[in-house]
Chains A and B, each alone.
Chain A
Amino acid sequence: NAGVTQTPKFRILKIGQSMTLQCTQDMNHNYMYWYRQDPGMGLKLIYYSVGAGITDKGEVPNGYNVSRSTTEDFPLRLELAAPSQTSVYFCASRDGLAFTQYFGPGTRLTVL
């Protein structure tokens, strides 16, 4: 049981480039989340999904897009990367009837 997996673990982007952060969970959870963690700060919600085909914005959605075509996958797309998007990105999931979120290992992204 792998839980929540994220790829890549590390990435360096140039300003203006685009990329997709992958997130997959094998627990059949309907809720999935993307958070970002800036240095010295807690995690902030970027986007979330309550099930396949349903997504919505969180606290800091600007510069990102998501999709949820399957229960398992919840990719995060960065378009036109900016230095302000330098951060650690965490994907998480939970069952709709439970309240514990399970986190992936995170992706450290640097935009230069």
Chain B
Amino acid sequence: AQTVTQSQPEMSVQEAETVTLSCTYDTSENNYYLFWYKQPPSRQMILVIRQEAYKQQNATENRFSVNFQKAAKSFSLKISDSQLGDTAMYFCAFMIYGGSQGNLIFGKGTKLSVKP
């Protein structure tokens, strides 16, 4: 079975500090992509960052970076200099590359609160 596990249902961080959200996944496939999506109260799904599994270099996008450990099937998200606008649900997801579906498989999410 292909699954995503986010072990932290809720987290909080002070404004300007750094926080790391955990994610592990399970798949027997070798070719896939990994994603972090942000869902603010508006419920719009917003892509935060993506990682190609065949790349060893960790992806970064401004204040957001990932720690991708392929052997451990771990894909954590680090948010630096947290801002109040980062308050949202964060979902980890992956997609099998080359499959007929190409759909995203999501974890249950982590609710992040950034406190002033």
Contacts and interface: CB of A to CB of B under 8 A. Distances in A.
Contacts of B33: 99
A58 to B, nearest CB: 6
A90 interface: yes
Most buried by A among B33, B91, B103, B109: B103
A45 B101 contact: yes
Contact of A99 (B44, B97, B106): B97
Nearest to A42: B106
Interface in B69-107: 91, 93, 95, 97, 100-104, 106-107
Contacts of A43: 45, 91, 104, 106
Contacts, number: 56
* A interface residue count range (under 10 / 10 to 19 / 20 to 34 / 35 or more): 20 to 34
Contacts of A45: 101, 103-104
Interface of B: 4, 33, 42-45, 47, 50, 91, 93, 95, 97, 100-104, 106-109
Interface of A: 31, 33, 35, 40-45, 48, 50, 56, 58, 88, 90, 92, 94, 96, 99-101, 103, 105-106, 108
30 contacts: A31-B102, A33-B103, A35-B103, A35-B104, A40-B109, A41-B108, A42-B91, A42-B107, A43-B45, A43-B91, A43-B106, A44-B106, A45-B103, A48-B102, A48-B103, A50-B100, A58-B101, A88-B43, A92-B45, A92-B104, A96-B102, A99-B33, A99-B95, A100-B50, A101-B104, A103-B44, A105-B42, A106-B44, A106-B45, A108-B43
